[in-house]
Amino acid sequence: MSYSAVDVIRAKRDGEALSDAQIDWVIDAYTRGLVADEQMSALAMAVFLNGMDARETARWTRAMVRSGERLALDVGRPTVDKHSTGGVGDKITLPLAPLVAACGAAVPQLSGRGLGHTGGTLDKLESIPGWRAQLSVDEVVEQLRSVGAVVCAATEGLAPADRKLYALRDVTGTVESIPLIASSIMSKKIAEGASALVLDVKVGSGAFMKTVERARELASALVSIGVDHGVRVSALLTDMSVPLGRAVGNAVEVEESVEVLRGGGPADVVELTVALAREMLSAVGIDADPARVLASGGAYEVWARMIRAQGGDPEAPLRRGAHKHVVSAPESGYLVSLDAYAVGVAAWRLGAGRARKEDPVQGGAGVICLVKPGEPVVAGQPLLELYTETPEAVAGALAALEGGYSVGGAEAASAASAGRGPLVIDTVRP
């Protein structure tokens, strides 16, 4: 049966639930170019304003999966993936994929690029000399069999409807719609073919979801879609009010990830990596201790093989931006706050991120957080190091950091620390 795009738009505009047939038709017609961008923009805004119920969201996801191919990952190991909703300093995929592979699973991590203040996994890895993001389906399968982990760009054939709609949402102010976010994430992950999926849903100033309530709503929608499609899904709600680790950027985050893989690194990065690894291994029935494997350095061996398999040199030195600017403590005391969003925007303005998908990024741009909240400082002590290839970008980065950090006395630091919750806030399961 054929429908009119205008009729579908009107139905959702007027608060009606779309039928399965209407959803199937409009996603297929949009993918094939029979529904114009301006019509899909109007429908996306109607969804943003009036929402979709669980049945509509599941069907919307199913239609986007069916717009392309679905991978069959017969690789001799149980397959499990992880997805993060995006944060500042969120380098967790880099140590996590090889760690879970070192514990016996296969991790098909099809990742994306950064946009705005949140970093992209592919941008980080492309700071490694020779590393390539684009792999064929055959290369993905072979690497999963031989190495156990792959981090690469999604193939063109996976959920093409989502690729078109995502780009449209980004320029029409409809990104924050929970049904559209959930269907976008899950359509790609279901098409990818992993048997289980663990979601890292970020909460806080540096995340798209600013409150625990909104994050839990998104997590519940994602888990529900997974159940509907026969994929084992769970979600961790994790704090993104302070940058993860001390490095925010591209090459600097790879450096920090390697520290973690060698058994060191910042405590929060290690904590979240291990927590997600435990959830992933539990989802596929593997009884292993990821904390022990990580501390032993065993995951680094898988990392090195994974990077080499994609043309990179894991031992190559990583270059930081040639221009360095230091932000110093204005007084003695304790670092009371360090806002994730402010640091993320600063790194973006230094060249670590992009405003448009086609913009290039600087591999060496970024911010090093030398001090984290709760740690003591003396007046004039360096707090942050800013790196860039374009010195004229520093002024914009400093403007972004205004009000983004504060130094105070022990009482203020203690109160701020008491107000911060745990790194892993909650877990949402079916």
SS3 145: helix
Q: Is 184 a catalytic residue?
A: yes
End-to-end CA distance of the chain: 35
| Residue from 62, 124, 188, 202 carrying the catalytic annotation | 188
Distance CA(348)–CA(372), nearest Å, equals 20
| Residue from 12, 62, 169, 202 carrying the catalytic annotation | 169
Residue among 249, 340, 261 nearest 303 (CA):
261
Q: Is 59 a catalytic residue?
A: no
| Per-residue tokens: 76 | 């001799």
| Residue from 59, 82, 83, 124 carrying the catalytic annotation | 83
SS3 183: helix
Q: Report how far Cα 249 is from the mean position of its chain's Cα atoms.
A: 13
Residue among 145, 148, 141 nearest 192 (CA):
141
Q: Is 14 a catalytic residue?
A: no
| Residue from 162, 200, 239, 268 carrying the catalytic annotation | 162
Contact call for residues 100 and 80 (beta carbons, < 8 A): yes
Q: Is 83 a catalytic residue?
A: yes
Distance CA(422)–CA(402), nearest Å, equals 26
Residue among 66, 60, 299 nearest 181 (CA):
60
Q: Is 188 a catalytic residue?
A: yes
Tell me the pairing of strands 196-203 and 80-84: parallel
Contact call for residues 231 and 190 (beta carbons, < 8 A): yes
User: What would the 3-class secondary structure string for 363-388 be?
Assistant: CCCEEEECCCCCCEECCCCEEEEEEE
Contact call for residues 191 and 63 (beta carbons, < 8 A): no
| Residue from 41, 84, 183, 184 carrying the catalytic annotation | 184
Catalytic residues: 83, 162, 169, 184, 188
